[in-house]
Amino acid sequence: MVESAKPVPPIWCPGCGDFGVLAALKKAAAEMKVPTHDLVLVGGIGCSGSIHNFLEINGIHALHGRLLAQAVGVKLSNPHLTVVAAGGDGDGYAIGMGHFMHAFKKNASIIYIAMNNETYGLTKGQASPTSQIGFEGNIERPFDAILTALSIPAPNLIARTFSGDPKTMIQVLVEALKFTTEGRGFAFIEDLSPCVTYNDTYKLWREKVLDVSKSPGYDPTDRKAMFRICLETMEAGRIPIGVMHRPKEPAQEGLEMKLLGDAAGPARSEIAIAPNLGAYQKLLAGLA
């Protein structure tokens, strides 16, 4: 056994919602039997983005907001890898918003876990894109990632989980791992992950979360119905959780499948001159 980078203890405050994601991720990966050397975790900037340091996997710590661009680059480079991007609401919905929207459209088979705590914890509690009106003087209406995700007509898996409900989180992660392994595309999971220091919402969220699968007319293949259910749940003062979209499209909708099919991918293709000599000569001979 070769000694390589070992996990370090989490930097999170005791009780942080991000511990729930860490535990669920370990269990889901173990259940799916993903070899640790084939698992890549792309971390964003913020407390949540340090999660890759705490697991026995390959980690890359991306720039603030850029984790999805890097994660898509990893997947398209080596589609054999299981790629999970993880960051916070500031990272994903503020500085990274452009990449967030395009991740749905690109539909590469990666999982994105956005740990939403409605604040910038690491910089000590400023208002974030999802902060409620009144939090730290916030006067802007909060952004809702699920409604946004549902508005993009792409065959993505869309779900929201709650760190106070680890059982559902593991189920959703297992589904997301299956989804991406089958090359079906982008799996977005927003996890409600309270910041116990700057915005402790455990109690509030436990009261407000509502499993949409129990709502009348629940059909995660029906985008229109799910948008209505989520909106009505929010208007009733509750927070919808569960699987919000499960696409009808068959397997191989993922960007890497469309580009590469069964090919090895850029990272694993043969680049020595000798095996490519004939093709290179032909390419250059085509120049006139």
Binding site for other proteins (CB under 8 A): 1-6, 8, 35-38, 40, 42, 50, 52-53, 56-63, 66, 69-78, 80-81, 98-99, 101-102, 259-260, 263-273, 276-277, 279-281, 283-284, 287-288
Sequence-ordered strand ranges (E) for 29-146: 39-43, 58-61, 82-88, 111-116, 119-120, 126-127
Q: How far is the CB of 90 from other proteins (least distance, A)?
A: 16
Question: Euclidean distance between the first and final Cα of the chain, in Å?
Answer: 54
Kindly tell me which of 52 and 160 has the beta carbon lying closer to other proteins.
52
Q: Residues 168-171: contacts with CB within 8 Å, 24+ apart?
A: 168/211, 168/241, 168/242, 169/20, 169/21, 169/24, 170/24, 170/27, 170/28, 170/31
Kindly tell me which of 103 and 230 has the beta carbon lying closer to other proteins.
103
Longest dimension (CA), the chain: 71
Kindly tell me which of 1 and 139 has the beta carbon lying closer to other proteins.
1
What sign has the CA pseudo-torsion 97, 130, 64, 73?
negative
Kindly tell me which of 49 and 220 has the beta carbon lying closer to other proteins.
49
189 and 41 in contact (C-beta within 8 Å)? Answer: no
Question: Given the DSSP bridges, would you call strands 157-162 and 239-245 parallel, antiparallel or unpaired?
Answer: antiparallel
Kindly tell me which of 84 and 172 has the beta carbon lying closer to other proteins.
84
Q: How far is the CB of 183 from other proteins (least distance, A)?
A: 15
Kindly tell me which of 139 and 284 has the beta carbon lying closer to other proteins.
284
Q: How far is the CB of 25 from other proteins (least distance, A)?
A: 15
Q: How far is the CB of 274 from other proteins (least distance, A)?
A: 9
Residues ≥6 apart with Cβ < 8 Å to 188: 103, 104, 112, 114, 145, 149, 156, 157, 158, 159
Kindly tell me which of 87 and 242 has the beta carbon lying closer to other proteins.
87
Q: How far is the CB of 120 from other proteins (least distance, A)?
A: 18
Q: Look up residue 197 and give its two tokens.
A: 């220091």
Q: How far is the CB of 48 from other proteins (least distance, A)?
A: 15
**Rounded distance between C-alpha atoms, residue 156 and residue 18, angstroms:** 24
**Rounded distance between C-alpha atoms, residue 71 and residue 2, angstroms:** 26
Q: Look up residue 38 and give its two tokens.
A: 């084939």
Kindly tell me which of 27 and 64 has the beta carbon lying closer to other proteins.
64
Q: How far is the CB of 207 from other proteins (least distance, A)?
A: 37
Q: How far is the CB of 35 from other proteins (least distance, A)?
A: 7
Q: Look up residue 124 and give its two tokens.
A: 């000590």
